Amino acid sequence: MVYKVRIHKNNVKNKEDLDQLLDVCPVGVFIKEKGEVIVKYPEKCIGCRSCEATLSNGEVTVEEE
């Protein structure tokens, strides 16, 4: 299964909240680059949706492709 992981910057109220993604993702989809959390390795996503549960205001979405 392939998943599409997206950060919706318009829904992010506090950029520091995104730092939680670095710890909660069990496979390292997210990294911090130049002070900003980004989706670096979407192909690693296993669809656990921990990122969605951690930031539950629509900041991050995981969809099956």
Residue % of the chain over a pLDDT of 70: 100
Confidence of residue 37 (pLDDT cuts 50, 70, 90): very high
State the DSSP string of 2-50.
Answer: -EEEEE-GGG-S-GGGGGHHHHH-TT--EEEETTEEEE--GGG--S--H
- Residue 56 pLDDT: 87
CATH assignment of 3-64? 3.30.70.20
- Residue 44 pLDDT: 98
Confidence of residue 3 (pLDDT cuts 50, 70, 90): very high
**In the predicted model, what is the mean pLDDT of the chain?**
96
Domain residue ranges in the chain: 3-64
Mean pLDDT computed over 44-50? 98
